[in-house]
Chains A and B, each alone.
Chain A
Amino acid sequence: MNSLLRLALLALILAGCGERAGNNEGGESLGALSDAPGQFRQALPGMTVRLPEDMGAHRQYRLEWWYLTANLQGAGGERFGVQWTLFRFGLEPGPFENPEPGWHRNEVWLAHAALSRPGDHRFAARSARGGTGQAGITVRPFRAWIDHWQLESDEGKPWSLAVDGGEFAYRLQLQPRLPPVFHGERGFSAKSAGGGGSMYFSYPMLAIDGTVQVDGQDFPVSGRGWFDREWSSQYLKPDQQGWDWLALHLEDGRHLMVFRLRGADPYFSGTLVEADGTTRNLSAGDFSLQPREYRDSRFGRVPVAWQLRVPAANLDLVVRSWPGDYWNPGSLRYWEGPVSVSGSHAGEGYLEMTGYGN
Chain B
Amino acid sequence: MGLGTVFLSHYRRHPGQLAGLLLILACAATLWSGVRSLTGRAEDAVAQSRAALEPRLSVLRADGHAVGVEDFARLRRAGLCASPRLQVYLPASEAPEIVGIDPFTAACLRQYSGGAAVVEELLAGPGRPLLLGNARDLARWRQLSLPGSGDYRLQPAEGVPPGLLLADIAVAAELASSGRAELEILLPAAELQGRALPPGYTTRVEDYGVEPESLVEAFLLNLDALGALALLVAALLVRSIYRFALEQRRRSLEILVRLGVPVARLRLVLAAEVLLLAVAGGTLGVWLGGMLASALAGGFQSTLSGLFSVDTLAQSPPALETWLGMVLILALVVGWACIDLLLLRRGQRDTAPEGGRRQLVPVLVALVLVAVSLLVLLATEKLWLVFLAASGCLVGAGLLLPALLDRLLAGAERRSRAAGKASLWEWSCSEMRALCRLLQLPLVALAFAIAASIGVQAMVTGFESTFGRWLDQRLQGDLYLDPGRPVATATWNKQLQRLPGVKTVLPMVRGRGLLDGQAVDVMAVDPASPLVQDWPLLAAVPEPWAALAAQGVMVNEQLARRQSLAVGDRVRFRLGSDSLSRQVIGIYADYGRPEGELLLPLALVPDSLPGRYTTYVLGVSDTATPGWQDWPEQYPWLAGGRLRDQPGLKRAANAAFARTFRMTRLLNILTLALAGTALALMGLVIFRLRQRSYTLLHVYGVPRRQLRWRLVAHSMLVTGLLAIVATPLGVFLSWVLVARINPVAFGWSLPLELYPGFWLQVWLASLLIGALVGLLMRNPVRLETLKNE
Contact = CB atoms under 8 A, between A and B. Distances in A.
A127 interface: yes
Contacts of A134: 72-73, 76-77, 105
Contacts of B104: 108, 127-129
B511 interface: no
A131 B86 CA distance: 16
A102 B126 contact: no
B395 interface: no
Interface stretch (A10-18, A187-195, A292-300): A10-18
B72 A132 contact: yes
A102 B176 CA distance: 13
A128 B83 CA distance: 11
B125 to A, nearest CB: 7
Interface in A135-161: 145, 147-148
A239 interface: no
A101 interface: yes
B168 interface: yes
A15 B69 CA distance: 26
Interface in B62-112: 69-70, 72-74, 76-79, 84, 86, 100, 102, 104-105
B173 A103 contact: yes
Interface string A75-106: 00000000000000001100000000111110
Interface residues of A, number: 23
Interface in B277-334: none
A128 B81 CA distance: 12
Contacts of B70: 101, 133
Contacts of B84: 103
Interface in B355-382: none
A316 interface: no
Given A16-B120, A127-B104, A148-B79, A104 B73 contact: no
Residue from B69, B79, B173 with most neighbouring chain A CB atoms (10 Å): B69
Contact of B123 (A14, A91, A101, A148): A14
Given A101-B73, A132-B73, A92 B125 contact: no
B487 interface: no
B124 interface: yes
Contact of A15 (B102, B124, B171): B124
Nearest to B107: A127
Interface in A97-119: 101-105, 108
B77 A148 contact: yes
Contacts of A25: none
A92 B127 contact: yes
Nearest to B78: A148
Nearest to A127: B104
Contacts of A28: none
A15 B127 CA distance: 9
A132 B126 contact: no
A164 interface: yes
Residue from A13, A92, A148 with most neighbouring chain B CB atoms (10 Å): A148
Given A16-B125, A132-B69, A133-B69, A103 B76 contact: no
Nearest to B120: A16
A85 B732 CA distance: 60
Nearest to B195: A148
A105 B72 contact: no
A293 B172 CA distance: 53
Given A16-B120, A148-B77, A108 B72 contact: no
Contacts of B79: 147-148, 164
A172 B321 CA distance: 51
A186 B168 CA distance: 41
B173 A102 contact: yes
A134 B126 CA distance: 16
Interface in B155-211: 168-173
B187 to A, nearest CB: 14
Contacts of A102: 69, 173
A127 B121 CA distance: 16
B126 A129 contact: yes
Contact of B76 (A14, A91, A92, A147): A147
A129 B102 CA distance: 8
Contacts of B100: 103
Contacts of B77: 133-134, 145, 147-148
A103 B86 contact: yes
A181 B173 CA distance: 43
Residue from B74, B76, B100, B173 with most neighbouring chain A CB atoms (10 Å): B76
Nearest to B128: A105
A105 B69 contact: no
Contacts of A127: 104
Contacts of A164: 79
B107 to A, nearest CB: 10
B621 to A, nearest CB: 46
A46 to B, nearest CB: 31
B557 to A, nearest CB: 33
A108 B126 CA distance: 9
Interface string B108-134: 000000000000110111110000000
Contacts of B172: 103
B126 A101 contact: no
A144 to B, nearest CB: 13
B170 A129 contact: yes
Contact of A14 (B74, B124, B171, B173): B124
B310 to A, nearest CB: 28
A104 B170 CA distance: 5
Contacts of A105: 126-127, 168, 170-171
B69 A128 contact: no
A145 B73 CA distance: 11
B127 A91 contact: yes
Contacts of B72: 132, 134
Contact of A128 (B76, B125, B168, B171): B76
Residue from A13, A127, A133, A134 with most neighbouring chain B CB atoms (10 Å): A134
A118 to B, nearest CB: 30
B68 to A, nearest CB: 8
A174 B172 CA distance: 42
B124 A16 contact: yes
A108 B102 CA distance: 12
A14 B86 CA distance: 22
Interface of B: 69-70, 72-74, 76-79, 84, 86, 100, 102, 104-105, 120-121, 123-127, 168-173
Given A91-B127, A103-B86, A108-B104, 19 more contacts: A14-B123, A14-B124, A15-B124, A16-B120, A16-B121, A16-B123, A16-B124, A16-B125, A103-B69, A105-B170, A108-B126, A128-B105, A129-B104, A132-B72, A132-B73, A133-B69, A133-B74, A134-B105, A147-B77
24 contacts: A14-B123, A14-B126, A16-B120, A91-B126, A91-B127, A92-B127, A101-B69, A101-B70, A102-B173, A103-B69, A103-B84, A103-B102, A103-B172, A108-B104, A129-B102, A129-B104, A131-B69, A132-B69, A132-B72, A133-B69, A133-B73, A134-B77, A134-B105, A148-B76
Interface of A: 13-16, 91-92, 101-105, 108, 127-129, 131-134, 145, 147-148, 164
A-B pairs with the 4 shortest C-beta distances? A16-B124, A133-B73, A148-B79, A105-B170
